[in-house]
């Protein structure tokens, strides 16, 4: 695994020191250390780490809520660490978008697979998220093209195939995407109709 830039958040300085040492021995770099959840959220935004490791029980903001806020601002793989192995905590962690969960005390043998798993799951999640975004955009484009075809069919009294051909030709002639051509037709129609 490539070296990662990691944020650690824990209210116990000795635990931070131990984690930092273990992570550095595994070849990773600790780029930020937080002592509460609010500080973790701020440091995650400032330092842009590749991964965050957050203790669950921290002052001001617990690790699960900090993970949720970090994921909303800029998604990244997050590993939660806790002295507790309660199912309710694991469920909250899952809902917050956490990619792994470790129970203290954490050893280097625990860290290696957890880091790999969190990073791999995150990359898979990002691929899926991009695919969903691409599908949404394709669907939106299709809706715009269908609307523009309808406008051309009505205004020019032509069939669906001819309307689509004209959209395609305009797109090629002007070296613009079909979406852009469709948007221009819709905007022009709205201007002339209003």
So what's the pLDDT on residue 193? 77
Given a cut of 70, the residues of the chain with pLDDT beneath it are 85, 194
- Residue 39 and residue 192: Cα distance in Å, rounded? 54
- Residue 41 and residue 87: Cα distance in Å, rounded? 25
Nearest in space to 56 (alpha carbons), one of 106, 7, 101, 109: 101
Crossing angle between the packed helical segments 178-193 and 160-173, to the nearest 10 degrees: 110
For 78, list phi and psi in degrees, rounded to 5. Answer: -125, 135
Q: Indicate the SS3 state at residue 54.
A: strand
Strand order in the sheet with 78-82: 29-34, 5-9, 51-55, 78-82, 100-103
The 10s digit of each residue's pLDDT in 67-84 is 999 999 989 999 999 887
So what's the pLDDT on residue 194? 64
- Is residue 52 within a helix (H) or strand (E), and if so which, with residue range? strand 51-55
- Residue 150 and residue 110: Cα distance in Å, rounded? 60
The 10s digit of each residue's pLDDT in 149-173 is 999 999 899 999 999 999 999 999 9
Full set of structural domains in the chain with CATH = 5-106 (3.40.50.2300), 132-193 (1.10.10.10)
Other C-beta atoms closer than 10 Å to the C-beta of 152 total: 23
So what's the pLDDT on residue 169? 92
């Amino acid at each position: 695994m490539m070296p990662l830039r990691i944020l650690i958040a824990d209210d116990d300085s000795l635990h931070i020191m131990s984690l930092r040492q273990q992570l550095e021995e595994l070849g990773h770099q600790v780029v930020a250390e937080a002592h509460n959840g609010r500080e973790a959220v701020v440091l995650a935004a400032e330092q842009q780490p590749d991964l965050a490791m957050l203790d669950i029980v921290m002052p001001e903001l617990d690790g699960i809520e900090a993970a949720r806020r970090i994921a909303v601002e800029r998604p990244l793989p997050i590993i939660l660490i806790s002295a507790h192995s309660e199912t309710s905590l694991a469920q909250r962690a899952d809902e917050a978008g956490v990619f792994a969960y470790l129970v203290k005390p954490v050893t280097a043998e625990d860290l290696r697979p957890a880091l790999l798993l969190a990073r791999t799951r995150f990359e898979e999640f990002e691929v899926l998220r991009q695919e969903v975004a691409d599908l949404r955009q394709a669907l939106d484009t299709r809706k715009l093209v269908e609307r523009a075809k309808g406008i051309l069919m009505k205004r020019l009294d032509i069939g669906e195939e001819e309307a689509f051909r004209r959209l395609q030709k305009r797109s090629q002639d002007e070296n613009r995407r079909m979406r852009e051509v469709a948007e221009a037709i819709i905007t022009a129609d709205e201007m002339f109709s209003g």
